[in-house]
Structure 1
Amino acid sequence: MKMMKIVFSIFLGLAILSCSKKDDSQLSVSVVGETSYIIPAPAQSCVNKRAVDLDSTTAATSDISERSFKYNTPTLSWENTANTAYIVALKIEFKGANLDYTCTIAGDELLAIFYNPVTNTDWDGTLGPASSASSPTTLTSPACNIVCGEVSVANEDQPFTASGKMTVIGFERSPTGDEKPIKATSTVKVNFE
């Protein structure tokens, strides 16, 4: 995990540059159900879920601040048959009159979303080359959801639905070591009642 933190830190700057790049059609992100609800409660992070799974003496805690929302079963897909994708951040953004909010997930929390509790396998942040153009490399979270907290709304008395976007940011590396930024975006919604 520590080595991946270093790799993520080094390339986070590169990945942030990709924010202005158009989506890479070979990378995609999706969730089951694009609509979530803001709830007036804290939530458990994937890092804490992983820690509890690995050590039964670790206490389960609601370590994501109150007023949270989640998206279920995130899936990453990579169609490139030659290069490896390195995923360094996932960002959820809502920009509007009712909700102006950004949640960035990176480092250990991003890796823990894709931790597999059945095999006790950590994800290393990569998606290897696809076996063919019609058979992409796909990674689906087996046990954890994308969770964001500390959401504040403009008017507590006014229910709303906000549209936003979920963006996966990273870079791809060729077998010869050439790198370029990549990103993928999908639409998400959140309700406040």
Structure 2
Amino acid sequence: MKKILCVLVASLFLASCSTEDQNVEVAISSSSLPLIPATAISCLAVQNAGGDAPTADISPSYFKVPTITFSRKDASKILIIAFLRISIPIPGSSTPVTCEVGGDALAALKSTWFASSTKEAAIAAGTATDATDCPLYCGGIQADTQFTASGTMEVFGLERDPTSLEETPVRIQTPITIQSY
């Protein structure tokens, strides 16, 4: 009986830890993103070009996420986004499409992030909702047939308390769907 009670208490503790409420949420602006059979120009290429004409740097057959919105219930900390990973299994392919964006390419998704001295994707304390102002592009997708495929966009980062500098890891995700016509 004592073993059963210990197992029950341990499972209740683990269940309460696994259902912890996330402070940060992420959402994208479109439910089904079309696959475009052309090249495109990334936000980073536009930023790096300055006044010159940027050149296409996104491979053909791309999709774009027009806006990524970050929301927080408690905005007392700084949210720092380290990188985004999109993973979508494509019908008939043995490996999923994976698109990872970090560093300057991530900072270029919002003009104020790129303009900061650190070029860091950071949302200030006190800001409950913030969104990108340049689309995220993922290209080079082999699409010989029509399909609809769903996957996830994961956000990796941390929240930093501006007073104590204590950091809490953040890993959230949202569904994403692409469609080839």
**Equivalent pair of 2:61/2:142 in contact (CA under 8 Å):** yes
CA shift digits 1:137-187 (9 cap, x unpaired): 222223x1010111124xx1x311001111111012223122221022111
- The gaps in structure 2 that reach 5 residues or longer are 1-17
Query: What secondary structure, in the 3-state scheme, does the structure 1 residue paired with 2:67 have?
Result: strand
Q: Equivalent residue for 1:110?
A: 106
Structure number with the bigger relative contact order (C-alpha 8 A, sep ≥ 6) is 1
Q: Equivalent residue for 1:151?
A: 141
Which is greater in Rg? 2
Residue 23 of structure 1, CA deviation: 8.7
CA distance in structure 2 between the aligned counterparts of 1:43 and 1:124, rounded to whole angstroms:
24
Count of aligned pairs between the two proteins: 158
CA shift digits 1:2-49 (9 cap, x unpaired): xxxxxxxxxxxxxxxxxxx98962112222212111121111010112
Q: Equivalent residue for 2:158?
A: 171
Q: CA RMSD in A?
A: 2.4
Percent identical: 27
Q: Equivalent residue for 1:60?
A: 54
* TM-score when normalising by structure 2: 0.76
* TM-score when normalising by structure 1: 0.72
* Compared CA separation, residues 188 and 83, structure 1 to 2 (3 A): same
CA distance in structure 2 between the aligned counterparts of 1:77 and 1:38, rounded to whole angstroms:
27
Q: Equivalent residue for 1:185?
A: 173
